[in-house]
Amino acid sequence: MKIIVAVKRVVDYNIKIRVKPDSTGVDLSHVKMSMNPFDEIAVEEAIRQKESGKISEVLLVSIGPEAAQETLRTGLAMGADRALLVTTDQTLEPLAIAKVLKAIVDEEKPDMVFLGKQAIDDDSNQTGQMLAALLGWGQATFASHLNIENGHATVTREVDNGTQTLCLPLPMVMTADLRLNEPRYTSLPNIMKAKKKNIEQKSLADLGIDTEARLTILSVEEPKPRQSGIKVANVVELVSALKQKNCI
Amino acid sequence: MAILLLADHNTEETAKALTAARALSNDIDILVCGEKIQTIAENSAKLSSVRQVLIAKADYLAHQLAEPMADTILTLANDYDVIMAASSSTGKNVMPRVAALLDLMQISDITAVLSPDTFKRPIYAGNVLETVRTNDHKKIITVRTASFTPTPSQNNSAPIKIITPAPNPNLSSFVKEETNKIDRPDLTSARVIISGGRGLGSQEQFMALLLPLANKLDAALGASRAAVDAGYAPNDWQIGQTGKVVAPELYIAVGISGAIQHLAGIMDAQIIVAINKDEEAPIMQIADYTLVGDLHQIIPELEKAL
């Protein structure tokens, strides 16, 4: 069995983002980039399934600039077998990404595709669901537990009031939530080994997929800052302040 | 412009999403999918300015599975210019599937309607607001409900019409669910929220300290990711970029340092109180009232003072 894991290069989650002065976007020059945290969890899950003997191959796919090779190297150092980069300098929307991933799935014929539940830059939470739709496969989103058995995936999902467990025949698409696992750190020997693994490259143009943007970003801005607060000395002061505001 | 609004089984959430829909048009039909949905349909029909309520009843829709839900919405799509849902776990699961099947790009988590095709939405954990215009002929939208007040339910009794759901594509099946039955106000609609972080130290301390205070204030209980990961509180109490986004009148953060990802979930609270031993914690920079000290001492004191 084969798993494809889709990974995205995003701004590191610890970075405080700044909007460009002309409000056309955020300033990403000289900012630390990393693998999207949810994608790391998806990669980890694929590798654990491989280590348990249920999967024979883990293929990483990323769609983005040449620099996304670093992101793929990270996943290879974690233990993925192969990597494919679809190069483009465009910033693609989730619908376009899902179409590109579908083309890769049609070619590679995996049994499952794992993605993160959302990317921490655009916060869309769409690509996995869209890919499942385009493939006509079942979807298990926001996964916190996975068991593969007898050609089926049993997945526990995090939902608004607790958890829900579903069973899906393979092939299927799963998106990883925070509590699915704790991704491993890459060791130096594995990082060195990953440098020798091949990253296949395809150009987006060669795939002949319509990736035209459907949404136009008119502007971006920083949210209104909150007024600076008041330090109270003790509980009595706090209670009287809140009473004055009529909120208790 | 006709709008189809997918009902959340939490009517309060539907009422908030409806407010966003009304900023677009007044021709709004609500779709309720499920098995035992008569009460939800009747409550939806009472909401102001709803034109009609459509109900799709089937056992395979009982648990809001994405595949039959999306297929059912698709049978109606021709009649509507906009299809909307709250950004609940169901809305987030189902709507992108609908969008892709219609070859449309979804606009996720809108916080404001600027014009019928232009919206605001947060990106980068709420640190940036994006103004976005769609060029698609039909719009698929999810609504960040914390940004909208609920549409009142009065003076309306919209007709309820039964529709035939799409057949079950059998791409997934329900096994079980585990819900945290707690006798507390719902996080997403509570007027007051008390939220605990790693500073509470243990599950026992979390409940022993925060529950009496929450009872006094009739507050919902929330938690930071650190508290949930440490097992102090259940997953669905998590507030933040990847948990729930809330906008209560009063938010009391106890022993929470205030990572970017947590602040993303509380920026729309009217008043934020932070109780922390670390004066330099990021939450202290955005809170309206800060109290520095040992929470083990302060929380019982606060409970007594109320």
Assigned domain for B178 exists: no
Q: Which two tokens stand for residue B68?
A: 């039959």
What is the mean predicted confidence (pLDDT) over A96-117? 98
User: How many independent structural domains does chain B possess?
Assistant: 2
**B16 and B87 share a domain?**
yes
**B104 and B199 share a domain?**
no
* Neighboring chain A residues of B305 at a CB cutoff of 8 Å: 235-236, 239
193-222 in B: which are within 8 Å (CB) of A? Answer: 217
- H or E stretch covering B139: strand B139-143
Domain finish residue from B163, B179, B207: B163
Assigned domain for B266 exists: yes
pLDDT band at A225 (very low <50, low <70, confident <90, very high): confident
Q: Which two tokens stand for residue B48?
A: 């102001």
**Shortest distance, CA A150 to any CA of chain B (angstroms):** 15
Ramachandran sector of residue A113 (left: φ over 0; alpha: ψ -120 to 50; beta: rest): beta
pLDDT above 80: residue A38:
yes
**B34 and B100 share a domain?**
yes
CA–CA distance from A236 to each of A132, B15, B279, B291, B298 (Å)?
Answer: 56, 38, 19, 11, 10
**B52 and B91 share a domain?**
yes
**B41 and B122 share a domain?**
yes
pLDDT band at A91 (very low <50, low <70, confident <90, very high): very high
Assigned domain for B179 exists: no
B292/A218 Cβ within 8 A: no
Closest CA to A157 of B73, B179, B188: B179
Domain finish residue from B116, B143, B163: B163
Of B63, B132, B260, the CB nearest to A217: B132
What is the mean predicted confidence (pLDDT) over A169-175? 98
Assigned domain for B107 exists: yes
95-154 in A: which are within 8 Å (CB) of B? Answer: 95, 98, 117-118, 120-134, 136-142, 144, 154
* Neighboring chain A residues of B188 at a CB cutoff of 8 Å: 160
Q: Best of B288, B299, B306 to disrupt the A interface by mutation (most A CBs within 10 Å)? A: B288
Pairing label, strands B118-123, B128-134: antiparallel
Asked if A8 is an interface residue toward chain B (Cβ–Cβ < 8 A), one would say: no
Residue A69: the pLDDT is 97
Assigned domain for B154 exists: yes
- Please report, for the domain that includes residue B56, its CATH number: 3.40.50.620
- Torsion (CA) B12, B16, B21, B26 in degrees, nearest 10: 70
* Neighboring chain A residues of B241 at a CB cutoff of 8 Å: 120, 123
* Neighboring chain B residues of A157 at a CB cutoff of 8 Å: 89
Residue B248: the pLDDT is 96
**Shortest distance, CA A117 to any CA of chain B (angstroms):** 9
**B17 and B126 share a domain?**
yes
A217/B130 Cβ within 8 A: yes
Ranges of residues in chain B whose predicted pLDDT is under 70 = none
**B90 and B233 share a domain?**
no
Assigned domain for B23 exists: yes
Domain finish residue from B147, B163, B179: B163
**B146 and B241 share a domain?**
no
**CATH number for the A2-221 domain, one of 3.40.50.620, 3.40.50.2000, 3.30.70.100, 3.10.105.10?**
3.40.50.620
Assigned domain for B273 exists: yes
- Please report, for the domain that includes residue B222, its CATH number: 3.40.50.1220
Q: Which two tokens stand for residue A223?
A: 């949210």
**B135 and B209 share a domain?**
no
What is the mean predicted confidence (pLDDT) over A40-57? 97
- B121 in a labelled binding site: no
CA–CA distance from A9 to each of A40, A143, B70 (Å)?
Answer: 11, 21, 30
Cβ-count burial of B137 within 10 angstroms (0-12 exposed, 13-18 middle, 19+ buried)?
Answer: exposed
Residue B285: the pLDDT is 92
**B17 and B155 share a domain?**
yes
B261/A162 Cβ within 8 A: no
Assigned domain for B292 exists: yes
A234/B89 Cβ within 8 A: no
A236/B242 Cβ within 8 A: no
**B133 and B219 share a domain?**
no
Longest dimension (CA), chain A: 69
User: CA-CA distance, B8 to B2, in Å (whole number)?
Assistant: 19
B286 is in which domain, residue-wise?
192-305
Q: Do B122 and B111 meet the contact criterion of CB atoms below 8 Å apart?
A: yes
User: A43: Cβ–Cβ under 8 A, 6 or more apart, which residues?
Assistant: A5, A7, A35, A58, A60, A75, A78, A80, A114, A183
User: CA-CA distance, B285 to B262, in Å (whole number)?
Assistant: 14
User: CA-CA distance, B288 to B285, in Å (whole number)?
Assistant: 9
Nearest C-alpha in B relative to A166: B174
pTM score, whole prediction: 0.96
**B116 and B199 share a domain?**
no
- B198 in a labelled binding site: yes
